[in-house]
Structure 1
Amino acid sequence: MTLVYLVAGEASGDVLGSRLMTALRAVRPDITFAGVAGPRMMAGGMDSLFPMSDLAVMGLVEILPRIRTLRRRMLSVVDDIAARRPDVVVTVDSPGFGLHVLKRIAPLGIKRVQYVAPQVWAWREHRIKTFPGRWDELLCLLPFEEAYFARHNLAARFVGHPVVQSGADRGNAARFRERHGLAADAPVLVLMPGSRRSEVPRLLPVFAETMALLAAKVPGITPVIPVSHAVADTVQQAAASWPVRPIIVTDLDDKHDAYAAAAAALTKSGTSTLELALAGVPMAVTYRVNPVSAFMARRMIRVPHVAMVNLLAGRLAVPELLQADCNPETLAATVLSLLRDPAKVAAQRKAFGEVIASLRPAGGNPADMAAAAVLALLPG
């Protein structure tokens, strides 16, 4: 049996990993999988060495208390790879963890793939000097990354962004409203606080106060919070005391239906901005981290925008409300402007079309493109 060892570190990597598993099996049914998996990958038949949630942490300061745990987990992955001797190791997203694993297993002579490029083009570019020899294939999600790494003499391949096959644009608004007992004219506001336990508590209190302000000005406005299973309990407990009780969604189809019903969204930065763009949901991006992390990040970030949709559009297509601007008054005012200004909505949707077009690979869907790159490294 051909063994592919996958290591996913957070919810986005779990989605990528599960689609990669499906695409690989479609071509090579003999492939088996081992490694670190989230719920989607586990539903596909893969056991996990330990809970993937152990690796889901973000922030320069937030990571410090977890360093010893992360190190132990890294060493357990390396030991497991050495014992199993897989045909290829694919670290999916979470390059901070994955690239350390790939470096450690280099002496084993196993083929190595990093799926999702480290964003050194955005910050801490000096790290690129440590990358030679880390991988046999670097699979990139963003169209400019292949050329960027080529300029540094590093092999890289653009395989397309998984958002284009996510189904986020195929939701059913009427179904969502019927399922949750919403009137046809009730404004729906999607709130996306993130998928990590370390980030959700920073945005939820701000969202709660924002909803209190909006409820006084927009009759019937209904917040909807799509979350991963990893943080669903945390969100449920926090939202129990909200002045406007949100609908909490964990099912993927229900999330896409919520997008179809939404008039606007407030989202943390990241892949969620691209999902919303694909679905055509007007949005503002907001984020809040530890002040020390924010100070350090501002000194290191080399790109003009934080939101991926803005970075790809090459302009401030959607508002970025970060740190001090991540406050209830500013968020509420921004949402109101999206609800009341059709011109702003039209401008955003025009930018969304450009962004999504740039993320589609020429040779097929992203999962199949990534699978083809992995298959090329396998024996037989």
Structure 2
Amino acid sequence: MVAGEASGDLLAALMLGGLKGRWPDLRAAGIGGPRMAAEGFDAWWPSDKLAVHGFNLELVRRFREIWTIRERLSDRLLADRPDVFVGVDAPDFNLGLEARLKTAGVKTVHFVSPSIWAWRGGRINKIHRSVDHMLCLFPFEPELYHAKGIGATFVGHPLADTIPIAPPREAARGRLGVAEGTPLVAVLPGSRRGEIRYIAPTFLDTVALLARQRPDLRFVLPMAPGLRGMIEPLVQVHCPDVPLTLLDGQSHDALAACDVTLIASGTATLEAALFKRPMVIGYRISTLSWHIMRHMGYLPWVGLPNILANDFVVPERLQDAAEPAQLARDVLDWLDNPARGEAVQQRFTELHHSLRRDTARAATDAIAQVIGAR
């Protein structure tokens, strides 16, 4: 298996539980993170080796390192062939690896369809060359692959299985030490260093502005592993003396407990929707990345909750539009309009039900069919 970044590590770990339930003697190895390791995964390289933010100098600087890892991994897998290779997200890394393995006769499964319906639709031809079977998180995706002769199964979203329909708000507030009735804003600027570099300063300036306008507000910011040393100095520069608590992990507690979240576009926005939280989506990347990516998109939305709802149910502020005054207005608009918040919570509840499908078991069933195993 190969999983990139924190979100892939989480999805892969949830899948591993289902695989081990069917095949207790399963051995899984490759590239993964701490959640996968907790499931007994043998990580030859850590998943954060694949974390790159946008099209920028970081990608150029790290291209050789990442390419070398892929070549070494490919050689190792071809020398000691697995029953199946499962690439979890990270399509720019995994599809090339999967193509080489499939050509050599190794069965390949990809978990999490690339967003061909949102941008870079031409990748479906590469997927056809690379993947024996695609495991799809969303119900509309398999039809796109079947039309191109690619096997695909809707397995639901594992987070929809693990996150309860009724979020444990009171328990989460207790764990965070936040009293009931205290207005709480969860700040999630991303889990990659590139995201922190581009997004966190704007989000923290927004926190400072909100704290001046509403002194009763409290803030929590959950951090991915290894990012405290990067985030703490930013807090001191952009919002010192603000009631902001930095959390090591605990993103689910933060989302369950908060009244609204200021959040970077990505998988975390779907988690926020599953916790039924009103949100303001913000995102910034390098100028070069922005000019490249803005011309590749097909949809008017970038946030997963809006894409799945086919509507602007939550505000998106991207690049220059993601500025503190606007983000603060959007956050306060949720806090000052509880009826609007209740309406979006109802829509998110419907979305949650649509994505529930015992993902670990459905994915395991599909993989068993691919490799012809009981």
Q: What's the TM-score bracket when you normalise by the shorter of the two chains?
A: over 0.9
TM alignment of 1:77-92, pairs within 5 A: 77-92=73-88
The residue number in structure 1 matching 2:44 is 49
For residues 107-137 of structure 1, give each alpha carbon's deviation from its aligned partner in whole angstroms, at most 9, with x where no partner exists. Answer: 3311111111111221121222223231111
TM alignment of 1:11-50, pairs within 5 A: 11-50=6-45
Under a length normalisation based on structure 2, what TM-score does the superposition of the two structures give? 0.93
Change (3 A) 1:299 1:167: same
Query: Aligned to 1:58, which of 53, 56, 70?
Result: 53
TM alignment of 1:265-304, pairs within 5 A: 265-304=261-300
**Which stretch of the first structure deviates more once superposed, 61-70 or 287-296?**
61-70
For 1:58, the aligned partner's letter is H
Structure 1: state its 5+ residue gaps: 1-5
Q: Does 1:136 align with 2:132?
A: yes
For 2:92 and 2:109, the matched residues in 1 are separated by: 14
Q: Does 1:352 align with 2:341?
A: no
TM alignment of 1:314-333, pairs within 5 A: 314-333=310-329
Q: Does 1:103 align with 2:99?
A: yes
Compute the displacement of 1:153 (Å).
Answer: 2.3
Q: Does 1:255 align with 2:251?
A: yes
TM alignment of 1:117-266, pairs within 5 A: 117-167=113-163, 172-241=168-237, 242-243=239-240, 244-251=242-249, 254-266=250-262
Taking only aligned residues, the RMSD between alpha carbons, in angstroms, comes to 1.8
Change (3 A) 1:358 1:180: closer
For 1:178 and 1:14, the matched residues in 2 are separated by: 27
Q: Does 1:372 align with 2:370?
A: no
For 2:304 and 2:167, the matched residues in 1 are separated by: 22
Q: Percent identity?
A: 37
* 8 Å Cα contact 1:191/1:226 also seen in 2: yes
Structure 2: state its 5+ residue gaps: none
SS in 1 for 2:295: helix
* 8 Å Cα contact 1:168/1:256 also seen in 2: no
* 8 Å Cα contact 2:165/2:349 also seen in 1: no
Query: Aligned to 2:307, which of 307, 311, 315?
Result: 311
Change (3 A) 1:132 1:222: same
For residues 299-345 of structure 1, give each alpha carbon's deviation from its aligned partner in whole angstroms, at most 9, with x where no partner exists. Answer: 11011211110011011000011111111100111111111012321
Change (3 A) 1:247 1:166: farther
For 2:72 and 2:232, the matched residues in 1 are separated by: 33
Compute the displacement of 1:240 (Å).
Answer: 4.0
Compute the displacement of 1:171 (Å).
Answer: 5.0
The residue number in structure 1 matching 2:2 is 7
For 2:290 and 2:162, the matched residues in 1 are separated by: 31
Compute the displacement of 1:347 (Å).
Answer: 2.7
For residues 142-184 of structure 1, give each alpha carbon's deviation from its aligned partner in whole angstroms, at most 9, with x where no partner exists. Answer: 1111111222222211111122023265654444444444343
Q: How many residues align?
A: 370
For 1:195, the aligned partner's letter is S
For 1:71 and 1:24, the matched residues in 2 are separated by: 29
For residues 278-311 of structure 1, give each alpha carbon's deviation from its aligned partner in whole angstroms, at most 9, with x where no partner exists. Answer: 1111111110011111111111101121111001
Compute the displacement of 1:274 (Å).
Answer: 1.5
Change (3 A) 1:373 1:302: same
Change (3 A) 1:168 1:190: farther
* 8 Å Cα contact 1:74/1:101 also seen in 2: yes
* 8 Å Cα contact 2:132/2:150 also seen in 1: no
**Which stretch of the first structure deviates more once superposed, 138-147 or 258-267?**
258-267
The residue number in structure 1 matching 2:64 is 68
* 8 Å Cα contact 1:267/1:285 also seen in 2: yes
SS in 2 for 1:49: strand
For 2:99 and 2:178, the matched residues in 1 are separated by: 52
